[in-house]
């Protein structure tokens, strides 16, 4: 039996061989027994070897050490042989495991409470699901913090569908400090808009209006536009069409010169929109778009005058303007200056409007059908809406001819641009 170590022993464990019942005066498990010769090594195995002189290793002590080492790994099968038993303290009782949480327990941070706050605020089950699918961390917000932010949004008229639209485009909107300084921002923003409805429309298009600092962002932008003749109320109308005008507007000397070259007076209806488009655009982009139209024979002042009368023309890409101009000048054989009077030729879609209607005009001329689409009627036909165009030039004929013309028209209209279906145009967030 292996018992606790003796401090005076050179061995880690004591080896005790139980004696025979007839010759052992003590109980079988006693630590002190009469010396009993071991059947294998011939020395008393229930006693410790005597201290040996330094530097000498007795044969008997070596055999006892080897024997004790072997007994650690090989336990005898019989009860008469020596056995090893490690005496240790009883194990301390382990703490009971924590009971598993119930299935409906809310997540840490108030997940169930946050969802209940959204429901009580007016969101339907579908709207709550859409919010959590777009930003799952909303469900783990502290209920009191979320309720305070939602109450702040209620003050400007936001409801459940509006919140879903904002979260879909700005997932981390509720993580910001919405209520901090909101009164000062709302008071300043109401000076820009004529009604709370316009303010709500502007916030839906750009929720960052509720986070801009009044003194560092909002007020300097208003003063910038006032320097070029645009008052606060006009700037509010601009924000409905250019939501990021607050944070992106830059009006340096070169841009002010471009505004002057447009030839627009400050009281013109399109002046504020032309200024806002030039203010949010980069100078390199403006130069590229002006140079693109100059290739068709226009001067820089003519192009800037066209931009002043049609500010959205500056938002079109260089590729779209170039493709439309090439088709108008090269295929339709119209002079380039017609664009100065009819700018819709640049805005219209080439694959669905210009090309199908011009080819149908050629088909009507080939079949000698009336009315013809040529001359001044061509530009009028290109500006018509789809149903009116079909009534005037396709369905006005008998059924057989109308069926043939409609098949030809929709067949040409269904031809897409090369590799158009493979374009990855997955837009997330706001369109701007």
pLDDT digits (tens, 9 = 90+) for 176-222: 777 677 888 888 999 999 888 898 899 888 888 888 889 999 999 99
DSSP class of residue 317? -
Handedness of CA 319, 408, 329, 312 (dihedral sign): negative
Residues 85 and 71: their CA atoms lie apart, in Å, by: 10
- pLDDT tens digits, 235-251: 999 999 888 889 889 99
Output b/e per residue, 409-428; b: 16+ Cβ within 10 A: beebbeeeeeeeeeeeeeee
Quote the pLDDT of residue 255. Answer: 93
Residues 205 and 209: their CA atoms lie apart, in Å, by: 9
Whole-Å CA distances, 392 to 202, 344, 356, 370, 395: 40, 20, 15, 10, 7
* 4 Cβ contact partners less than 8 Å away, ≥ 6 residues apart: 14, 87
pTM: 0.64
Quote the pLDDT of residue 62. Answer: 54
CA 41-47-53 angle, to 5 degrees, is: 85
Per-residue H/E/C for 230-275? CCHHHHHHHHHHCCCHHHHCCCCHHHHHHHHHCCCCCCCCCHHHHH
Query: For residues 352, 355, 356 and 359, what is the CA-based torsion angle, rounded to 10 degrees?
Result: 180
Residues of the chain with pLDDT under 50: 1-3, 9, 11-23, 25, 29-32, 38-57, 76-91, 98-110, 428-432
Quote the pLDDT of residue 22. Answer: 44
């Amino acid at each position: 039996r292996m018992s606790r170590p003796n401090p005076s022993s050179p061995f880690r464990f004591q080896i005790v061989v139980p004696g025979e019942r007839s010759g052992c005066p003590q109980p079988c498990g006693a630590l002190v027994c009469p010396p009993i010769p071991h059947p294998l090594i011939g020395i008393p195995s229930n006693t410790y070897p005597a201290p040996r002189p330094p530097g000498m290793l007795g044969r008997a002590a070596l055999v006892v050490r080897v024997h004790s080492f072997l007994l650690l790994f090989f336990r005898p099968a019989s009860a008469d042989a020596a056995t090893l038993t490690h005496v240790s303290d009883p194990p301390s009782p382990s703490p009971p495991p924590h009971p598993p949480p119930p299935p409906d327990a809310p997540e840490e941070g108030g997940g169930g409470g946050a969802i209940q706050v959204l429901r009580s605020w007016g969101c339907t089950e579908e709207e709550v699901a859409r919010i959590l699918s777009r930003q799952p961390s909303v469900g783990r917000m502290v209920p009191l913090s979320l309720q305070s932010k939602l109450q702040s949004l209620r003050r400007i008229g936001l409801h459940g569908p509006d919140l879903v639209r904002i979260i879909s485009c700005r997932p981390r909107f509720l993580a910001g400090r919405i209520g901090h300084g909101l009164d000062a921002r709302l008071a300043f923003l109401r000076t820009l808009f004529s009604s709370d409805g316009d303010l709500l429309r502007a916030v839906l298009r750009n929720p960052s209006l509720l986070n801009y600092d009044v003194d560092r962002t909002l007020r300097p932008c208003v003063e910038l536009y006032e320097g070029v003749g645009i008052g606060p109320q006009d700037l509010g109308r601009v924000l409905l069409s250019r939501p990021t005008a607050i944070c992106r507007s830059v009006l340096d000397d070169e841009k002010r010169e471009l505004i002057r070259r447009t030839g627009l007076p400050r009281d013109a209806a399109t002046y504020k929109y032309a200024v806002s488009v030039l203010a949010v655009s980069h100078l390199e982009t403006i130069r590229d778009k002006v140079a693109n139209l100059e290739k068709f024979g226009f001067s820089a002042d003519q192009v800037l005058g066209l931009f002043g009368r049609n500010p959205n023309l500056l938002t079109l890409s260089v590729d779209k303007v170039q493709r439309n101009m090439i088709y108008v000048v090269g295929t339709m054989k119209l002079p380039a200056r017609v664009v100065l009077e009819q700018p819709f030729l640049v805005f219209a879609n080439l694959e669905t409007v210009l090309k199908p209607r011009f080819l149908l005009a050629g088909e009507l001329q080939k079949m000698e059908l009336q009315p013809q689409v040529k001359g001044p009627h061509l530009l009028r036909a290109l500006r018509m809406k789809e149903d009116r165009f079909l009534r005037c030039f396709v369905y006005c004929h008998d059924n057989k001819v109308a069926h043939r013309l409609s098949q030809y028209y929709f067949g040409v209209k269904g031809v897409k641009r090369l590799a158009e279906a493979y374009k990855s145009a997955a837009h997330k967030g706001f369109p701007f």
